[in-house]
Amino acid sequence: MTRPTRRSSEIELQVMWNRLIAVVEEQAQVLLRTAFSPIVREAGDLSAGIFDRNGNMLAQAVTGTPGHVNSMAESVKHFIRHFPVETMKKGDIYITNDPWMGTGHLNDFVLTTPAFHKGKLLGLFSCTSHLMDIGGIGFGPDGTDVFMEGLYIPLLKLADEGRLNETLMAMIRTNTRLPVDTEGDVYSLAACNDIGCARLAEMVDEFGLEDLDELSEHILTRSREAVLAEIRKLPKGRYSNAMTVDGYDEPVTLAATVTIADEGIHVDYTGTGPVSRRGINVPLSYTTAYTVFGIACIVGKDIPNNAGSLSPLTVSAPESCILNAPKPRPVASRHIIGQMLPDVVFGALRQAVPDRVPAEGTSCLFNLNVRGETEDNDLGNYGFTMTVTSNGGTGARPTKDGLSATAYPSGVKGTPVEVAESITPLIFWKKEYRPDSGGAGRTRGGLGQTIELGSRIGRSFDLLAAFDRIDHPPRGFDGGQNGAAGVVALASGKKMKGKGFQTIPPDDRLVLLTPGGGGLGNPKTREPAALAKDISEGLVTPDGAKIYRGA
């Protein structure tokens, strides 16, 4: 007679849930510590998570970016459709960088690994990281279709029962300016999933589990119920907002209608501008990722992110609008538009819960995508290619100032100057806060930065510009002032374009002024002590303080 399986107690399930989160955090830390690309190991541009056998995300690592995590969640379902779970073997590894099945552009590789224990498939681990170079024109918005943008990897097996696909690895190495780094990053991604599989095996042994079915049901059900409970506290209705951003050749309108109902929140982007002929288009998976992240920041910020907590949040966008770009539209710089979406959604939610919503921030990363020659080629790469992550200010919050030089919503850290200088022939002459750039208000917007750099070997280098908030700076609200607009220029005085391939002369310097966040509330109502502190710390100049005093 077969003994019935014992049901776990609520406390045991909660302990195992927390343990699962610890497992994926270790998974992410392995990727962070072994990656070759500095945007991963220094800035944390990655994601890691565990999925059940149906492709439902059970836990994500805190380390990482929401754009990667929430779009990677859909990638695993694509892998399962292409490689059914009953055909999976221990030692298999699957890979893609398909923008419409992965995380939105070719520079992000997604690897998924089935986790077996005692011959049984428990679930799947998946991870993503940004690779510095995957061929094509490079990491910029100049392409006119996705095929110009780099090496395109469909859903393939990277390893088959532990045997590496050497043909695929050869293709990857050959189609990049950084073969050493790119190959190393692929191995790093594979290793991080392997650690997840090992730690999961230890966990199921420790808790005496046969599978993750009961735990999966607990996580998904409790998370969904928690989000729905928060949604039911909100005023029901339809709320609309629109934002204009710089675009490439012309401004782009991003329009959203947020519908709050007892059964969930739906965001519809009808009214948004059409696809662009340049690489600022956004696949719907990435649109969905940042939209639901923005909602979650307001509605369920204390609820763990998984398939259950995401399920009440849905997104739609008209076909062939810039937020639902079809293949083969160019999408390399999809983050420029995609990372604006939390602010677009906030503008609608402000009408329902004004006490929770910040003013607009820089939103999109103000990254330095640079490329050029080195003095030698001893390391096996062809010149240098690097993304130096840099950020502007976030919008003022209802009860606090915005954060200065902080990447929201992406969450990546800024690249340390010392790291950038050690692996490129560039020198940073200045990197400091930009005084008065935060929009004035009862609570002030976060400050942007002033960055100045040039070549230290007397050679020109390329800038693959992908900046925004230059013509349309972050807006303040409720009497708060707009944040300062971004600026891209040469030290000699020439104004540079916000987007597109440009060359920095060897005897000049590139100057970036990143935008500040918008202010919230009438500046005259700012606490005098807070203003005095801003002035003493050099965040606000005496001239800049005049607006607070009504001068």
* pLDDT tens-digit map of 232-253: 999 999 999 999 999 999 999 9
Q: pLDDT confidence of 64, banded at 50, 70, 90?
A: confident
Task: Give buried/exposed letters for 199-230 (b at 16+ CB in 10 A, else e).
Answer: bbeebbeeeebebbebbbebbbebbbebbbeb
Which helix or strand (DSSP H or E) is residue 346 part of?
Answer: helix 341-349
Only one residue has tokens 């990049």, namely 176
User: Is 366 contained in some domain?
Assistant: yes
Last residue of a domain, one of 224, 243, 258: 224
In the predicted model, what is the mean pLDDT of the chain?
Answer: 96
Secondary structure percentages of the chain, helix, strand, coil, to 5? 30, 20, 45
- Rounded mean pLDDT, 155-184: 97
CB contact at 8 A, 391 and 409: no
User: Is 1 contained in some domain?
Assistant: no
Q: For position 534, what pLDDT does the model report?
A: 97
Q: pLDDT confidence of 551, banded at 50, 70, 90?
A: low
- Rounded mean pLDDT, 193-217: 97
pLDDT(199) > 70: yes
User: Is 296 contained in some domain?
Assistant: no
Last residue of a domain, one of 198, 224, 250: 224
Claim to verify: residue 41 and residue 185 sit in the same structural domain:
yes
pTM equals 0.96
Domain housing 196? 10-224
User: Is 36 contained in some domain?
Assistant: yes
Contacts by residues 535-540 (CB-CB < 8 Å, ≥ 24 positions apart): 538/433, 538/435, 539/404, 539/433, 539/435, 539/438, 539/447, 540/435, 540/436, 540/438, 540/444
Claim to verify: residue 545 and residue 398 sit in the same structural domain:
yes
Last residue of a domain, one of 165, 198, 224: 224
Q: How many CA atoms lie within 13 A of 501 on its CB side?
A: 10
User: Is 344 contained in some domain?
Assistant: no
Q: For position 5, what pLDDT does the model report?
A: 60
Q: pLDDT confidence of 445, banded at 50, 70, 90?
A: very high
The count of domains in the chain is: 2
Q: For position 391, what pLDDT does the model report?
A: 94
User: Is 326 contained in some domain?
Assistant: no
